[in-house]
A and B are shown apart, each in its own frame.
Chain A
């Protein structure tokens, strides 16, 4: 029988095979070149304008000056120290808020009773503007790590809560019927159906949480802190040291991109089964 051949041909016709072919190394390099063309051109123009003294060196220090400032901060150890402080707050805040959001999202997602009891409260608290409570958090928890961690945690909590809840509630009813036919226990239904089915939504929640975490970190450290990247920027601003402010902005940006790439890589591994 030519059954196998037909199957193979049919499977090969599916478009997803093509998506993998594109990921050759040559193509990857070329897409990198295309992607970086505009930023590089922009930096060159910026440098040239600065060299020609067409833009103010105080408002727009040239890329080379900023790089120099970066080197100085690196050599004195100030960068590592403040960067470490920021990273710690970010990790702790995300772990605390995101972890609680995930847990509560699971509870409320799995139980209608919990939803009735908790969801309206959570939705109300969610509407409290983030920045408006920063000042209170500093008052309550001091200018040390705690206030930053709490603010970041508050920011990370909601995206993970909402997307975990959504993931659970959007579990395919038809697959539920399959687990009934296969005689899964309630526990097995949760562990082998509801949780894996929620992973795509939870990953979205993680990405949003991380974005909020970065934003909260900057705000919290600029409102009142004695260390961290945000503090470094505020301190530099007070001294009109704009190159250092630019270093801070660039670092925040680069770190944001790095976390996003990490999440994307994890997602690609975890969600390889997805048809998109």
Chain B
């Protein structure tokens, strides 16, 4: 993957939520630049605003301060140029696999038909075209969701802890499937996770967030060649790097808490 021009540009992003009593700052001064074809992983403990960041990029959450631009244009709302994968597959239960992928597009359209067949091949679901979601395992359903997003040729694919609900073996397998898709399609991806191995295994670059308020604490560029071996020394080195950043966050958090007491 050669990195070329900037695709996503975030500057001075602030986001707070209003609850009944108070305003909670979810994100503070986020600066992020993602290049075309990059695979960025965002990692942080729960409550660090990583999902909020992704939802803002998707156009699902609005009402923030700062600038968020995709291809130079400010993001005003959701659209098919920004594919989004939720933690749950969120398939339409009354549609078969192939119809879920097509969604509002007609399978009678030859072009759509061909693309859907290609994607079913890509996400390795051949033979399950006519199955209903109830017959699918969690990993299979999530692959349908990925195919549904890819059919729209998104400029960027946003994945919000997509494998968080899967068991360890299925998760490892899904990570390989996703890398395979990324290498073949070259789709720019941002994946949010709380799993350090996952972040190191997938990303060109890892963004580390700290909670309350959500701020970028570190950026790690992972210059290991793909496919990566989780047991290799190089992989472990990056793993420790990220872990170190987390320990710094912990110390900070405890320090602040201690000052409070």
Q: Which residues of A contact B (CB under 8 A)?
A: 3-4, 7-8, 10-11, 14, 16, 174-175, 177-178, 180-184, 188, 192-193, 196-197, 199, 272-275
Contacts and interface: CB of A to CB of B under 8 A. Distances in A.
8 contacts: A3-B124, A7-B125, A10-B137, A14-B134, A16-B135, A177-B90, A192-B92, A273-B134
Contacts of A7: 124-125, 128, 137, 140
Contacts of A273: 93-95, 132-134
A196 B92 contact: yes
Q: At the interface, is chain B mostly helix, strand, loop or mixed?
A: loop
A262 to B, nearest CB: 21
B192 to A, nearest CB: 15
B45 interface: no
B60 interface: yes
B134 A192 contact: no
A4 B92 CA distance: 23
B84 A272 contact: no
- The listed residue with most B CB atoms (<10 A of its CB), out of A3, A14, A174, A196, is A3
Given A181-B78, A273-B134, A199 B104 contact: no
Given A181-B58, A181-B78, A11 B137 contact: yes
Chain B: interface size category:
20 to 34
Given A11-B136, A184-B104, A178 B124 contact: no
B90 A174 contact: yes
Contact of B86 (A14, A177, A193): A177
A180 B132 contact: no
A14 B127 CA distance: 17
Interface of B: 58, 60, 78-80, 82-84, 86, 88, 90, 92-95, 103-104, 124-128, 131-137, 140, 148-149, 152, 173
A3 B121 CA distance: 12
A11 B103 contact: no
A4 B104 contact: no
A275 B86 contact: no
Given A7-B140, A182-B80, A183-B78, A175 B90 contact: yes
A180 B103 CA distance: 12
A177 B80 contact: no
A177 B59 CA distance: 11
A177 to B, nearest CB: 7
Q: Which 3 A-B pairs have the closest CB atoms?
A: A275-B134, A181-B84, A273-B132
B210 to A, nearest CB: 27
Contacts of A192: 92, 103-104
Contact of B92 (A3, A177, A188, A193): A193
Contacts of A184: 104
A223 to B, nearest CB: 43
A268 to B, nearest CB: 13
A151 to B, nearest CB: 35
Given A183-B79, A192-B104, A272-B132, A4 B127 contact: yes
A177 B124 CA distance: 26
A174 B88 contact: yes
Contacts of A14: 134-135
